[in-house]
Amino acid sequence: MANTPQAKKRIRRNDRRATINGARVSRIRTFVKKVEAAIATGDKNAATAALSAAQPELFRGVAKGVLHKNSASRKFARLTKAVAALA
């Protein structure tokens, strides 16, 4: 249990940040799922549009510190490759 005032404040702050960061990660996952759904249906135009919407979200997550840079780059590269593979 926190005893000092700064430790109590840190607990409150961590709870607020966890809520915000969880919302950010959830939003990123939603954009990625839209790309994956478009790939699954085989619609290249929809997949391309969804990918261009997901790309800034992924890298905004990197800038905000909720995703690692290499994880976001790897995810984006794999999605790009999958979209390019659609005939």
pLDDT digits (tens, 9 = 90+) for 9-39: 999 999 999 999 999 999 999 999 999 999 9
CATH 1.10.260.40 fits 5-85, yes or no: no
Res 87: pLDDT: 76
- Rounded Cα distance, 50 and 60, in Å: 16
Whether the pTM exceeds 0.85: the reply is: yes
Residue 59 is predicted with a pLDDT of: 97
**What pLDDT score does 63 carry?**
97
Helix/strand/coil for 78:
helix
Q: Does residue 1 surpass a pLDDT of 90?
A: no
